[in-house]
């Protein structure tokens, strides 16, 4: 079982690590212009696109869960139809987002409340990167489908290709052509479309035979789409609540001033790095749990979950030690702005608590996705956000400033894992 978990987790970890590395490169490129506004603008721009693209995380999770169960039943035609439906929804959604680009940015700026300088830089970034939407969402669907097919190597190759290409493009536009935020956005645009061409080629290379099982007649049938969306509407709500919480963290940081926004942006990179590492094991959970759930193998299901938590606990301890010993040494790499570094060092102790408060939630997310237990995921998230995070922040912690914001955020992160654990006997094991 350990070999099965690592065979799926390690390629996903390798591919996932390239994502925060891309974000870190963007921060480094913007962090050495001598102006905090560039770091703040990239943070706000990234937040806006996280809201947009994370909202479509249901396509990855839904594709993964349904495909893994079809794979467990050895129903390859249904597996490829899941891919076809996911890509259809992805492409339509991407073009709708492009059409809605002006209202989206207007609403974002109204809700966030940032300085005019940051608004200007963010707009330059936003109006280029928005055109990545169809390619980005299609890539989300493809990677979810490959995960459900128990294939971790191909998503790793695709993710590395896309993100390394993105880094090269960004470095070229910023360092060679002397562009700023618009260079970062242009790098993302070219990388996403280069990536989708590469991903489609990889699909035909590895799955050309079973892709012939896609039926246009079945694709026109509405009921499978409705079933897909019915399950995924709950994942969508769950994902939307995560986005709202993380976006609130960013907007409250901005309201405390550009220095707090820039400082928290640096600290948040440690959460992103750890989360993408743990997502490798969450993806392994989606694949293996979904397969055994589809095959109705309860013994292997329980064994898989136990092993996942042994690995997760070990990684949690390792990252905590790394953050304590080496964490602060990495901050000057991200920026040379003294005020930003001062803020980041002042609040760095909150980073030490990130692994222990988050690892459980990532693993349970993967387990619940594999069993398509979307209602339970939605309900636990509603409790974490609506009944815990926001009431605690506004009633108890708001007066504590940035410390209060971090405390509320960590309570939110830990409550997700605790709640999913408490209801697991009913929704997973039974």
The model's pLDDT over 109-135, given as tens digits with 9 standing for 90+, comes to 887 766 777 888 888 888 998 999 999
Q: Which tokens belong to 356?
A: 């222990």
Please compute the mean of the pLDDT values over residues 343-356 and round it to a whole number: 93
Q: Is 66 exposed, middle or buried (0-12, 13-18, 19+ CB in 10 A)?
A: buried
The model's pLDDT over 253-294, given as tens digits with 9 standing for 90+, comes to 888 888 888 889 889 889 888 887 888 888 788 878 877 877
Closest by Cα among 216, 233, 244 to 377: 233
pLDDT for 296 equals: 77
Share of the chain above pLDDT 90, in %: 27
Could you tell me which residue, 184 or 335, shows the higher pLDDT?
184
CA-CA distance, 26 to 409, in Å (whole number)? 24
* Pair 128, 182: CB distance under 8 Å: yes
pLDDT for 17 equals: 62
CA-CA distance, 397 to 392, in Å (whole number)? 6
CA-CA distance, 249 to 402, in Å (whole number)? 10
CA-CA distance, 22 to 191, in Å (whole number)? 12
| Cα dihedral across residues 62, 68, 74, 76: positive or negative | positive
* Pair 139, 162: CB distance under 8 Å: yes
CA-CA distance, 130 to 276, in Å (whole number)? 23
Could you tell me which residue, 41 or 368, shows the higher pLDDT?
368
**Residue with structure tokens 């259809």?**
88
| Cα dihedral across residues 30, 31, 32, 36: positive or negative | positive
Q: Is 214 exposed, middle or buried (0-12, 13-18, 19+ CB in 10 A)?
A: middle
Q: 403 CB contacts (<8 Å, ≥6 apart)? A: 347, 350, 397
């Amino acid at each position: 079982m350990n070999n099965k978990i690592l065979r799926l987790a390690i390629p996903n970890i390798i591919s996932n690590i390239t994502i925060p590395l891309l974000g870190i490169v963007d921060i480094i490129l913007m962090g050495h212009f001598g102006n905090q506004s560039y770091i703040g603008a990239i943070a706000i721009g990234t937040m806006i696109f996280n809201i947009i693209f994370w909202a479509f995380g249901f396509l990855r999770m839904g594709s993964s869960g349904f495909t893994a169960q079809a794979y467990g039943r050895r129903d390859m035609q249904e597996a490829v139809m899941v891919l076809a439906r996911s890509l259809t929804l992805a492409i339509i959604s991407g073009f709708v987002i492009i059409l809605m680009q002006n209202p989206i940015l207007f609403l974002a700026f109204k809700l966030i409340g940032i300085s005019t300088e940051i608004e200007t830089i963010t707009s330059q970034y936003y109006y280029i990167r928005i055109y990545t939407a169809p390619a980005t969402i299609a890539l989300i669907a493809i990677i979810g489908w490959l995960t459900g097919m128990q294939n971790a190597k191909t998503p790793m190759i695709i993710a590395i290709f896309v993100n390394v290409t993105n880094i090269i493009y960004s470095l070229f536009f910023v360092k060679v052509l002397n562009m700023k935020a618009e260079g970062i956005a242009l790098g993302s645009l070219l990388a996403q479309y280069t990536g989708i061409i590469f991903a489609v080629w990889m699909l035909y290379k590895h799955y050309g035979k079973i892709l012939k099982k896609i039926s246009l007649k079945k694709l026109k049938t509405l009921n499978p789409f409705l079933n897909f969306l019915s399950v995924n509407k709950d994942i969508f709500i769950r994902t939307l609540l995560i986005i709202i919480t993380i976006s609130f963290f960013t907007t409250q940081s901005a309201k405390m001033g550009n220095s707090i926004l820039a400082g928290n942006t640096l600290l948040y990179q440690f959460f992103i790095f750890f989360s993408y590492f743990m997502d490798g094991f969450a993806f392994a959970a989606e694949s293996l749990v979904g397969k055994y759930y589809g095959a109705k193998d309860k013994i292997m299901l329980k064994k898989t979950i136990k092993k996942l938590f042994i690995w997760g606990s070990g990684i949690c301890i390792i990252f905590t030690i790394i953050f304590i010993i080496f964490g602060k040494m990495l901050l000057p790499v991200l920026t040379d702005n003294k005020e930003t570094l001062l803020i980041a060092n002042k609040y760095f102790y909150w980073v030490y608590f990130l692994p222990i408060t988050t690892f459980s939630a990532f693993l349970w997310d993967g387990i619940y996705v594999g069993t398509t237990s979307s209602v339970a995921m939605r309900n636990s998230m509603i409790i974490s956000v609506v009944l815990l995070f926001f009431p605690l922040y506004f009633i108890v912690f708001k007066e504590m400033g940035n410390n209060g914001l971090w405390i509320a955020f960590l309570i939110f992160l830990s409550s997700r894992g605790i709640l999913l654990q408490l209801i697991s006997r009913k929704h997973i094991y039974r």
